[in-house]
Structure 1
Amino acid sequence: MRTLSLVFFLLSLTFCGKDKQEFAIQIALPSDPAQLDPLFCTDLTCQKLARFLHQGLFQLEKNTYISPWIQNSEKRESPTEEILVVQLRSTAPPIGDIHFSFTRLIQESYPRKEDYRFLKSVQLLSPSALEFRFQKGTSESEWKEKFSLPFASIIGKKEWEQNTLKTYGDYKLIEWKKNEYINMVSQNKESKNLPESIRFLILPQSTTSLFLYRKSKLDAFKLSDFLLSIPEATSQFTLTKKGRSVQYVTINQTNPCFDIHFRTALNLSIPREMIINKLLENHADLTYGPIPIPYLEKLNLHLNENDITYNKEKAISELKLSKCYPHILTKEIDFRMRGDDENQTKGRAIRQALAEIGLNIKLRPMEKAPMYKENGEAKGDLTLLTWYSDYDSVWNFLDPVFHPDKIGNGGNRSFYQNQIIGSILNKPNRNLSDAKQVIEIVTQEKPWIFLWSIQENYLVSKDFLRYNELADYL
């Protein structure tokens, strides 16, 4: 039945050019967002859409946080708190909407709430002035960074109370048909570098996207690894993004059998370089623990050597030292991943490597929503996941994915608990020395099977390339 529905969907797009005429650009997404409420924007699709829809008080431009809505700001002295008063420009959103959005950060429960514990209160001082009170010791760089993330985006209060979404980004949402499409139109009339309208088609399989691209009914989609060699993927029409992600396998820390010897065995069993070369066609980079090596190279941290290079014999030796050996060899280990072709292919390669050291791995392809839901409930033994950075900071690869207070859907999907790391991540003024310590502890304790940093490759059309800024939004 699903195959029949797909056939009719493709036929309708093939013989009807109406959609392409109505929308300047059409972009494929592999799945629906869980929702578009910025407080709950934790999945990749929502993060991508947030760049089009949402805007906060600050935004990152050329390594500097700027605010187009703040006219001036003033710090005030207090022995117990950091106090900031901001005066808004006339071009800013209504002050009631800004106050409402920041009040939600304080009062509501959401996955990234720990990131905003430093924000103690926000008060209206006048029709154009707001007062923010922060935890004592909170640095300017920290609150500016956090205020620039999607979670701190401004939304319309009145519209929200009426169960609709008003946003202040470059685009506004005009229609969302679940599992089919999301339509947006521009709110930035001055920009000629962005299209007036965009339709996002929900297309889980890249082969479907390629079919529509060849029919000139799609302008951009993410290329699966097995499509990188198609004739259309020339340098002119392929956009590549590097160093924004880490692909990994969570090792469920709630299982007492998965001790350090077991986790070390798993890491030693993966022939990363061979998989990158043969399966990913060299479109991925190695990592040091949870950090892409190309990203680390610009930080100059001088990390301790921690070798998890493929070594089957050493992996078997470590496995024999694990707490539940030899019983672990007869236990069926549940290995979950998204059900699309690309993730299943990687899952099979990883399962084969784990089977070669004697483990009984059951591959379980799943739909996105139930997989994330159950992973957040600590179900499953191993789960193949990808972490995409929200912003350009080494801390984004460490917090929230290893914070002991952000387990499950908060980001720490392996349920890893280390209070030393928690205390470092909670420091109001963290530095690179702190980051080095966290990286080395995590890499030594191995709550993940560390894999690689995937390179994202997008096939785009001539129409897409007409808009100079659009590539930055992918």
Structure 2
Amino acid sequence: MKAKKNVFLMLLLSLVLVLAACGGDKSTNENEEKEKENAGEETTQTGGELVFVTPSDAPTLDPHGKNDTATTNVTTQIFDRLTEYAEDGSVVPSLATEFKNIDDTTWEFKLREGVKFHDGSDFTAEAVKLTIDRIIDPEFASPRAVVLNMIEEVIIVDDYTVQFKTKFPFAPLPAHLAHNAGSIIAPSAIKEEQSGGKKVDENPIGSGPFKLNTWNRGAEILLDKFEDHWNGAATVDTVKVIVVPEQATRVAMLETGEANVMLIGSSDVTRVEAMDQVEIDRVSGTRMDYVSFNLNKAPFDNMKVRQAIAMAINKDDVVQGILDGQGVAAIGPLAPTVVGNFQGLTPLPYDVDGAKKLLAEAGHADGFKTTLFVNEGSKERADIAELVQAQLAPLGIEVSIEIIEWGAFLDKTAAGEHEMFILGWTTVTGDADYGLYALFHSSQFGSPGNRSFYKNERVDELLDTARSEADQEKRNAAYKEISEILVEEVPMVYLQHPDFVHGMSGIEGLFVNFSGTPFFKDVKLKK
């Protein structure tokens, strides 16, 4: 077993760049690999098929269609973006070659020439305008619009120059364009959809290193390498994404070599680390896992009920017990690595007696019955649900657990059909705006992120102010007040900030960014 760790200690945003520090350690097996290379022996091969196993199918292959991990993991391979997050966490050009501020509300991007889409057409400024206009169009109603809806207008200067006019000064724009929501779609695909033909979901034409071959919904997705990719063709010929809901089965496939890469559940990390021929890639990222409430339904519209539940859940039991120490307990919604995170928050204490008192004050001294939604395919979330069920029982709260298929889970929680649910949120941009605005602004109810249906006018005001403020210290002050309000009002129980741990069998060259997204372009199969 060889362990590879990329630990991001801090992402620092300074107008354009999101910077992070990273460190690594590798076991002595790497020395053996180096000895082979020094001896002239090739350890990898060109071509072949990379197998990625995942608990859930992508609900869509339209990068504007859903805001979820399964969609991101696949569409990242199909589409390119104007910018990307480098291995050190900085924002670097991709389909753009350079970018700069013209004035407080204007950004100019120079575009890369010679780029081809999968349909053979050229990448130009038209594709950028069509793509961004689509995602920010209120009639299209993309759940990912929040990532880029600060853009007011896209101006084509010439075929290879575009300008973005923003509604207010927005320093993190280059980082937001690196989000999967910034994936550039071929004009032919957008125009066909607009004329009543195939939707982008069925016709995902990008310029990325892989193109869609087949999609057997609910079972597998097959991607072929794009020979004409502007940055060179991928090393493997194909990527097969196989949907395997059972976590134990996925781990077994990794151990036997049937699968090459998978995201490892925290409870299985120790087991996988002990496997021969399996490597570990670990990233301390920007995710927060949580138990959320529907504030439109009683009794969760009562803050004392929410506080009582939060005080009755022992987060150490989650992190150290269920997750085997693979992360840190959360106090508020922002991970320590997120720019704008305030580290001096006072947590609600773990206090079962205090929780009982609050519940009685709320008029529920004898408790109540409720249902907790959990998505299929996550052993950890199912285990957390059982822990929550057990730890709320002394309060007289009887929790029924309902395991739901991923796509249906997203639809039900977006529609407000839930009472409680368990989910996670990754601050993909590394900046507090994305970690807070989508989850807690009242304009973002449902699929954009605010599935708690939380509304607080002061929080809305502060979020809007921080979005339009160029001074990072003033932004930090706003995020501090927001975080303090959110800890007190508990629209969700902030559980933990996990590491992203991927298991790799028979491959090398995998890159996983700080949001946990794997990139397959440079992966090579071992001989």
Give TM-score scaled by structure 2 length.
0.76
Decide whether aligned partners of structure 1 residues 222 and 118 sit closer, same or farther in structure 2, where only a CA change above 3 A counts.
Answer: closer
Contact 1:103–1:122 under 8 Å retained in 2: yes
Query: What's the offset of the Cα at 1:288?
Result: 1.5
Matches within 5 A, 1:261-340: 261-292=304-335, 294-295=336-337, 301=342, 303-304=344-345, 306-322=346-362, 324-326=363-365, 329=367, 331-340=368-377
Select 2:176's aligned residue among 136, 146, 149. 146
The equivalent residue for 1:35 is 60
Deviations 1:123-142 (A, max 9, x none): 3343333343222x323x23
> Does residue 464 in structure 1 map to residue 507 in structure 2?
yes
Deviations 1:418-466 (A, max 9, x none): 12111222231262122111111111111112211223332211x222x
Query: What's the offset of the Cα at 1:270?
Result: 0.7
> Does residue 82 in structure 1 map to residue 105 in structure 2?
yes
The equivalent residue for 1:97 is 127
> Does residue 251 in structure 1 map to residue 251 in structure 2?
no
> Does residue 118 in structure 1 map to residue 141 in structure 2?
no
Secondary structure, counterpart of 1:91 in structure 2 = coil
Query: What's the offset of the Cα at 1:275?
Result: 3.1
Letter paired with 2:449:
G
Contact 2:225–2:238 under 8 Å retained in 1: yes
Contact 2:442–2:455 under 8 Å retained in 1: yes
> Does residue 350 in structure 1 map to residue 392 in structure 2?
no
Secondary structure, counterpart of 2:60 in structure 1 = coil
Letter paired with 1:255:
K
> Does residue 365 in structure 1 map to residue 396 in structure 2?
no
Contact 1:268–1:312 under 8 Å retained in 2: yes
In structure 2, the gaps of 5 or more residues are 1-45, 116-122, 519-527
Which shifted more, 401-410 or 254-263? 254-263
Query: What's the offset of the Cα at 1:23?
Result: 4.2
Letter paired with 1:376:
A
Deviations 1:82-113 (A, max 9, x none): 34454434235233222211221332311132
Contact 1:56–1:147 under 8 Å retained in 2: yes
Select 2:77's aligned residue among 52, 74, 86. 52
Contact 2:288–2:334 under 8 Å retained in 1: yes
Q: Give the whole-Å Cα distance in 1 for the aligned partners of 2:205 and 2:441.
A: 32
Which shifted more, 222-231 or 406-415? 222-231
Query: What's the offset of the Cα at 1:212?
Result: 2.4
Query: What's the offset of the Cα at 1:143?
Result: 2.3
Matches within 5 A, 1:131-170: 131-135=163-167, 137-139=168-170, 141-160=171-190, 161=192, 163=198, 164-170=203-209
Letter paired with 1:66:
V
Contact 1:464–1:470 under 8 Å retained in 2: no
The equivalent residue for 1:130 is 162
Which shifted more, 359-368 or 212-221? 212-221
Contact 2:52–2:260 under 8 Å retained in 1: yes
Contact 2:427–2:435 under 8 Å retained in 1: yes
Secondary structure, counterpart of 1:314 in structure 2 = helix
Secondary structure, counterpart of 1:49 in structure 2 = helix
Q: Give the whole-Å Cα distance in 2 for the aligned partners of 1:451 and 1:176.
A: 35
Decide whether aligned partners of structure 1 residues 334 and 97 sit closer, same or farther in structure 2, where only a CA change above 3 A counts.
Answer: same
Letter paired with 2:281:
L
In structure 1, the gaps of 5 or more residues are 1-20
Contact 1:112–1:406 under 8 Å retained in 2: no
The equivalent residue for 2:221 is 182
The equivalent residue for 1:439 is 483
Q: Give the whole-Å Cα distance in 2 for the aligned partners of 1:469 and 1:72.
A: 23
Query: What's the offset of the Cα at 1:268?
Result: 0.7
Q: Give the whole-Å Cα distance in 2 for the aligned partners of 1:265 and 1:98.
A: 48
Secondary structure, counterpart of 1:405 in structure 2 = helix
Secondary structure, counterpart of 2:143 in structure 1 = coil
Query: What's the offset of the Cα at 1:40?
Result: 2.0
The equivalent residue for 1:8 is none
Q: Give the whole-Å Cα distance in 2 for the aligned partners of 1:376 and 1:302.
A: 30
Which shifted more, 43-52 or 24-33? 43-52
Decide whether aligned partners of structure 1 residues 295 and 58 sit closer, same or farther in structure 2, where only a CA change above 3 A counts.
Answer: closer
Give TM-score scaled by structure 1 length.
0.84
Query: What's the offset of the Cα at 1:406?
Result: 0.4
Decide whether aligned partners of structure 1 residues 349 and 189 sit closer, same or farther in structure 2, where only a CA change above 3 A counts.
Answer: same
Q: Give the whole-Å Cα distance in 1 for the aligned partners of 2:68 and 2:389.
A: 25
Decide whether aligned partners of structure 1 residues 89 and 227 sit closer, same or farther in structure 2, where only a CA change above 3 A counts.
Answer: closer
Contact 1:41–1:151 under 8 Å retained in 2: no
Q: Give the whole-Å Cα distance in 2 for the aligned partners of 1:27 and 1:138.
A: 40
The equivalent residue for 1:17 is none
